[in-house]
Structure 1
Amino acid sequence: MDWNLSTCGRHGHETFAPDEPALRERLRVDTPAGEAWRCLRCATYVVGDPKSSGSADDAPEVPRGRLLRDKRIMRLLAAERGIRGLGLLALAVLVFVFRKSKGDLRASFDKDLPLLRPLADQIGWNIDSSKIVRGIDSVFSLSEKTLTLIAIGLILYGILEFVEAVGLWLMKRWGEYFAVVATSIFLPLEIYDLTEKITVLRVLLFGINVAAVLWLIWSKRLFGLRGGGRAYHDEHHAESLMTVERAAVAQDHQRPVVGSSAGPANEGNLPL
């Protein structure tokens, strides 16, 4: 997939007219339809006025290439974290509702459970030894204080997931570190859950978390890996089309004129 063209197709081209004449001429061309400017993302010439103009130093930092792919992945991770956060907050609300109505729910459960015994006997289900029933009994035995602490814990966990989602969605450096640290803290608990019982959902969530941590550390060069933040910034800055064209202009100015005579007035520094 061409991430550059895909993004331009959805959000439009990013054209820029630099004030520097040599650089300006590298980013524009005259066509039968009029003046066209080169998109800083997909490098396509777009007919019409540039979207913005000014000094090359003030040109917008337009992500392209692998940075766009990374942006898609990070936003998928952010969306997954946001969904988790919503689910945790919904569970917290249910816990609060359960705490408030625990007495009525317990009375209804005790009243309706005997009605299930004839059906359970017909299908060979021993209600008295059922893990589901025992689990419900253990939940009803929780004190209001314990339920409140559980709800508060779910809310804090949900907020943490939302912070991760915001940092990853905005592609902030702190968000990448926060996501790695916060996710890594809960990996031992997920491993413990898997030792207790293996389910498709648990395996899927554990796999997503491990893959996210490893990918973030490696691709974003976190914790000094592969040169750290400076190397990461330099790598993506070098992929900028404006950076490439400025380097080409500088190279043109350093190239000697073919056939020029050596001497103090002409030392081969004239541009082609």
Structure 2
Amino acid sequence: MSFDWDRRHCARKGHITYAPDEPGLHRKLHTSTAVGTAWRCLRCGDFVLGEPHGSGPADQAPVVPRGRALRDLFILRFLAVERLLRGILIAVAAWAVYKFSNSQNAVHDLFEKDLTALKPVATHFHYDLDHSPVVDSIRKTFDYKHSTLQIVAALLLAYALIEIIEGFGLWWGKRWAEYLTVVATAAFLPLEVYELTEKVSWFKIATLTLNVLAVLWIMLAKRLFGLRGGAAAFEAERRGTSLLEVEEAAGETHPPLPVRSRSAADNG
């Protein structure tokens, strides 16, 4: 059984109705019932009791995502949430690096003090803290210059802002955000591949796979960089799936569809 994206979205967000000025379209989208007038929802196609949300020429009607466009918007919003969460985590990392750069000596002294206290315990378990790879890696960070750490913090903050901007743009389905996501994500793919050559982990593999799939899907589905006809073909496809365009192309009246109460649908 196929998933009905249109009715699912209308059940959650409510219907959208419109009264076009063109007599032919007006008749197809309007009906009278025993309990009042009803208009067809531009998304799911069901008749909804009550006055329309808007009116005017058909070419000025809102372009309501439906069908495949609505499914694509759902995928974009999934990617948007992932970008927003990643941006927040990177921003926290940038703040931590900045704070560390301003308290480097104090943190170093505290680390060495705690390390000295742990040495008897480590010796009991035959573990050499002085030659531990983990301890050596931490000690190396204390040798970084203050200016270097601040540059790292600034770069991390810039990266976080890019991810957050991507997230908000993708959530609202902005085309510029799709371009930004493809370019920014593709730019970091070589670094992710290099990290895998250093050390393989399931998290790194999953992240790389998600980013590659996201880049390919956005480029092909949204026809970026002239692919599959480019922006003109994308707009034609988007408008071609709207209910008004479908009705205008059909040229004949559809059989009556179920009539739904606006209040019941909007509260669903």
String of CA shifts for 1:163-221, please: whole Å, max 9, x gaps: 22232122122211111111000000000111111123222221111110010111111
* 1:198 to 2:200 alignment: yes
Between the aligned partners of 1:193 and 1:125, the Cα distance in structure 2 is 29
Counterpart residue type for residue 10 of structure 1:
R
String of CA shifts for 1:1-39, please: whole Å, max 9, x gaps: 211111111111011111222211111122222211110
Aligned mate of 1:93, from 92, 95, 117: 95
What's the counterpart of residue 258 of structure 1?
none
Between the aligned partners of 1:219 and 1:191, the Cα distance in structure 2 is 25
SS at the partner of 1:137? helix
* 1:102 to 2:110 alignment: no
With the length of structure 1 as denominator, give the TM-score of the two structures.
0.88
* 1:44 to 2:46 alignment: yes
Q: How does 1:1-272 map to 2 (within 5 A)?
A: 1-249=3-251
Moved more, 226-235 or 188-197: 226-235
Moved more, 235-244 or 123-132: 123-132
What's the counterpart of residue 263 of structure 1?
none
Q: CA deviation at 1:70?
A: 0.6
SS at the partner of 1:141? coil
String of CA shifts for 1:133-169, please: whole Å, max 9, x gaps: 0111001111101111110110111111122223212
String of CA shifts for 1:40-88, please: whole Å, max 9, x gaps: 0000011111111112121111110010111111111111111111111
Q: CA deviation at 1:241?
A: 0.5
Moved more, 126-135 or 37-46: 126-135
Q: CA deviation at 1:102?
A: 1.2
Counterpart residue type for residue 78 of structure 1:
A
Between the aligned partners of 1:112 and 1:227, the Cα distance in structure 2 is 63
Q: CA deviation at 1:125?
A: 2.3
Moved more, 166-175 or 128-137: 166-175
Between the aligned partners of 2:25 and 2:181, the Cα distance in structure 1 is 40
Between the aligned partners of 1:96 and 1:22, the Cα distance in structure 2 is 65
Counterpart residue type for residue 69 of structure 1:
R
SS at the partner of 1:36? strand
Moved more, 218-227 or 121-130: 121-130
Segments of 4+ in structure 1 off by > 2 A?
121-126
Q: CA deviation at 1:234?
A: 1.0
Structure 1: gaps spanning 5 or more residues: 253-272
Structure 2: gaps spanning 5 or more residues: 254-268
Moved more, 211-220 or 164-173: 164-173
Q: Percent identity?
A: 46
Q: Which has the larger radius of gyration?
A: 1
Between the aligned partners of 1:233 and 1:168, the Cα distance in structure 2 is 17
Between the aligned partners of 1:110 and 1:191, the Cα distance in structure 2 is 35
With the length of structure 2 as denominator, give the TM-score of the two structures.
0.89
Counterpart residue type for residue 195 of structure 1:
T
String of CA shifts for 1:88-144, please: whole Å, max 9, x gaps: 111111111111111111111112212212222233322122111011100111110
